[in-house]
Amino acid sequence: MVMSYSKLTILPKNKSNTYHKIYFIAGCFPPFGRGNSITNSCIANHLSKYFSIDVVCIDRKDGGLISYQEDQSLKKGINSKIKVNRINASDRFGLNQIFYIIGFLPCYFLNWALNVWRKKDLLFTEPGIVFAVYPVFSDLIIAYLISRRFGYPLLVDFRDDFSGVMSRGWRKIFLPYYRLWEKTVIKKADKISVTTEDLKNDLISRYTLKSDKITVVYNVVPTLSLSKQTRQENKNFLSVVYAGAMSRVQKPEILLKAYKKLVSRNIDLKDILRVEFYGPESPYFRHKIQKYIVEGCHFGGFLPQAEVIQRVKSADIGFLSLSESTYAYATPTKLFDYIQTSTPIIACLPKGAARDIIENYQIGLVVDVDDENGLSEALQDLAENSELRMVFADNMKHALADFDTESQIVKWKKLLEDISN
């Protein structure tokens, strides 16, 4: 499983020093039904207007310990000009993932990276720029190796703080080990993109980087075609929606706990307030969430992305959560779905990027992590105050102007052109 790069034969760099080919290393790609997958396909589609894009992604055929729900409809939205190379990530006995869980490996798809490496001479046949995204870290590992092997320039995108996320809790003892992996990739990269100013400043300080090496590019989601009237004004109830991953990263069950507490003290709200959950029926859901699905709460299972957006568009309030300060740099894609659909937000978040966006643009109410009482009160405030919901929805247009997908894609286009030229 260990890939040695100390004896790599490094080929000479492209003498013409211009590149039209982009090798987009994105482990999560449709049909995986995850936020990262949707973001990655959005990036590839937009950049295919300007470059020739070869995607290298995971083809996961076995179960393993970590399973993902597939959304086959997402494949229909991929530009036909994009070449998608799906490389098997078989881990039948879950050994790769076991070593990841105990902290020894920095990602749970190193087996996939190994398979990509074995096929490198078939996949990377002409000079190009290697563009890799985190998560997952195996994307950055194989991108580093390919960049070094062929002499291709490297652009890496960090959507979270890898070493910080990996060293949660008892795994803090591995922090120097994770920092070594992180530093190796960052020092090799020609350019870096990150999703927040705070993460940029942290990486600059951590590794003594020049400021112009890192560019802030916010998370992107496909641009939606929205009708002017998206919400059902004639509904006799209000709906709060949560659609997405359900794990210890989000701990979305706090919304269900807050709802139960709210309706127990205000019985009238029980008839007009509904909570809707959509997502894969994961082990976490069965062990931590299912028991809180009470009257007034609905679990709709996993839905294709198009149906998720319809649920969000028709909802009165969108819920967002992150479970601890480790995720302070994260900006979940559902935040930008809410912004695009002008859905007022209620959130349970640590201090950090996502919270700053909601509070600075005044597009929702935010309470601290694990503040069940505060969330219950905020939920009541939004449910009973239609004017407040209207103010938050109206403020979304200012956020949308700053975070629209096209303006973020232009930043990546410029980074790639700067590297090429």
- Across the chain, what does the average pLDDT equal? 86
pLDDT tens, residue by residue, 38-80: 999 999 999 999 999 999 998 865 444 455 678 888 888 899 9
Mean pLDDT of the 348-359 span: 94
Give the pLDDT confidence score for residue 97 in this predicted structure: 67
pLDDT tens, residue by residue, 214-228: 999 998 888 765 544
Give the pLDDT confidence score for residue 245 in this predicted structure: 84
Give the pLDDT confidence score for residue 44 in this predicted structure: 96
Give the pLDDT confidence score for residue 233 in this predicted structure: 54
Specify whether the CB–CB gap between 217 and 177 falls below 8 A.
no
Specify whether the CB–CB gap between 15 and 46 falls below 8 A.
no
Residue 37 to residue 245: CA distance in whole angstroms: 12
Which domains are assigned to the chain? 21-222+405-420 (3.40.50.2000), 238-402 (3.40.50.2000)
Tokens coding 256: 């269900």
Most confident of 1-10, 29-38, 93-102, 356-365: 356-365
Calculate helix-pair angle for 175-188, 197-207, nearest 10 degrees: 100
Residue 207 has pLDDT above 50, yes or no: yes
Mean pLDDT of the 361-368 span: 96
Say which residue, 169 or 158, is predicted with more confidence.
Answer: 158
Return the closest-CA partner of residue 389 out of 351, 343, 355. 343
Residue 19 has pLDDT above 50, yes or no: yes
Give the pLDDT confidence score for residue 203 in this predicted structure: 95
Give the pLDDT confidence score for residue 127 in this predicted structure: 95
Residue 398 has pLDDT above 70, yes or no: yes
Ranking 15-24, 156-165, 348-357, 409-418 by mean pLDDT, the lowest is 15-24
What percent of the chain has a predicted confidence (pLDDT) above 70?
86
Give the pLDDT confidence score for residue 229 in this predicted structure: 44
Say which residue, 111 or 375, is predicted with more confidence.
Answer: 375
Residue 234 has pLDDT above 60, yes or no: no
Return the closest-CA partner of residue 22 out of 131, 125, 113. 131
Tokens coding 232: 């059902």
Give the pLDDT confidence score for residue 124 in this predicted structure: 96
Give the pLDDT confidence score for residue 59 in this predicted structure: 86
H or E stretch at 263: helix 253-265
Say which residue, 265 or 413, is predicted with more confidence.
Answer: 413
